[in-house]
Structure 1
């Protein structure tokens, strides 16, 4: 049987330990093509490169595995891979393993999840993986069996049209898997203000995450705080269906 084709990217750059491990794991399930940014692209969400041409450079090639770097963003990696590099539709898209959590509203800003959502848009099963620590020396050991289990499940059973998975892993002491919803929360005190050596004011993005529903036990934040791998089914459709009918009533006589 022909092996599945798996396209992998991330937002930490093609040399990041997380993507190196994810590519090694993915090779147990199929042929792997990695197309990843040439440097960090965190916080890029689904942004695209539109002011300069994309350069895609082959860095490694061997049976069942290719690695490309590009000056693009994570979503660019998926688009250029699907349109120009692969030559066929992949069976699965993986993004990560991101160094840093993408739970709760971080999914909105995440380049890792921007790439996974790009797969969902075009109907390809996609998973974004993240670990809660930002450390480049992150210990993925306990998470590996869970990553394999989740990939295997999607390879065997696919995903609904337009849906991808947002998977976040604790670094250590993992208790199991929780399928859950995205937690509600906010970022506050988001910028540090200071003066540079030339006497000019500047602002540095920082901030602290505040979980606005700490008592809820069905969220990704609760799962991670209690040692579980969180899985949140995620889609691009941002329509508020609960409010749609009510809003329609307000405009039903407007022609």
Structure 2
């Protein structure tokens, strides 16, 4: 009998969020599920880790599912680290993060705790997927995309035996099941946030700031995640943790050459 894959589930919206509860139930149909997730909201925390205080990670039972669960006082990245190093019986076959309440397309991946958990798992050599639904409501419909989510996870489990660790950023439009047009493999859009800080004052006269922002979309370019989502498709962007700007390597090497030339010219 084929052994079930071990699936690690985490998120950044907290272990009680409807998004992760839906994802857990979906993953229970595919493998042996372990959940290690933050005990409270950790959105927008990016790749932060806990270094200056203690971490708590306690076993918990929230619903009647067959999964094993722990709530962690740390960040999503902490959750992945402690799951791999202490909680799970062995390295998981896959790590899934989400389902996030809101988009993690385009530049949002930089700030996302959901996707940082995915990146951390890939650093550890674990295939990983982040799922996000473009609906910030607590009672959003996470089950309309169940068929697609399970299909994507199955594909990654089946094709993960290679030298390239599969790590995906999956965003799902806010549509009913029969309105989703399919899946598009995309590149990350260059859309960004235009931010401002409103200066406010407390009753005692001390000033503080409140962050506001407008998302500036660049949707005219075909085959980006923002274009796919606008046109009714689930977007999949392959991601990795190598930040090297390869197109600048030759340019920077020429700078180094010029610098060394002038150094030897002036001091020899």
Is 1:167 the equivalent of 2:173?
Answer: no
Find the counterpart in structure 2 of residue 112 from structure 1.
114
Q: Distance in 2 between matches of 1:135 and 1:191?
A: 25
Find the counterpart in structure 2 of residue 67 from structure 1.
69
Find the counterpart in structure 2 of residue 16 from structure 1.
17
2:190 to 180, 184, 197: 184
Is 1:206 the equivalent of 2:206?
Answer: no
Q: Distance in 2 between matches of 1:160 and 1:48?
A: 27
- The answer to whether the 8 A contact 1:6-1:93 is kept is yes
- The answer to whether the 8 A contact 2:99-2:142 is kept is no
Render the CA deviation track for 1:142-201: whole Å, top value 9, x for unaligned. 211111111111111127634410000012131111110000022113333322333222
- The answer to whether the 8 A contact 2:25-2:65 is kept is no
Find the counterpart in structure 1 of residue 266 from structure 2.
none
Q: TM-score, normalised by structure 1?
A: 0.95
- The answer to whether the 8 A contact 2:72-2:79 is kept is yes
Give the gaps of 5 or more residues in structure 1.
none
Q: 1:123 Cα deviation (Å)?
A: 0.9
Q: Distance in 2 between matches of 1:132 and 1:192?
A: 26
Q: Distance in 1 between matches of 2:168 and 2:20?
A: 17
Find the counterpart in structure 2 of residue 193 from structure 1.
199
- The answer to whether the 8 A contact 2:130-2:169 is kept is yes
Q: TM-score, normalised by structure 2?
A: 0.90
Q: 1:243 Cα deviation (Å)?
A: 1.3
Q: CA RMSD in A?
A: 1.7
Structure 2 CA distance for partners of 1:97 and 1:87, relative to 1, 3 Å: same
Bigger CA drift: 39-48 or 171-180? 171-180
Q: Distance in 2 between matches of 1:18 and 1:114?
A: 17
SS in structure 1 at match of 2:145: helix
Find the counterpart in structure 2 of residue 251 from structure 1.
256
Query: Number of residues paired by the alignment?
Result: 254
4+ residue segments displaced more than 4 Å: 61-64
- The answer to whether the 8 A contact 1:119-1:125 is kept is yes
Larger radius of gyration: 2
After superposition, where does 1:1-255 map in structure 2 within 5 Å? 1-60=2-61, 64-158=66-160, 161-172=164-175, 173-211=179-217, 213-252=218-257, 254=260
Give the gaps of 5 or more residues in structure 2.
262-268
Q: Distance in 2 between matches of 1:154 and 1:106?
A: 23
Render the CA deviation track for 1:33-65: whole Å, top value 9, x for unaligned. 000000000011111011111111100298951
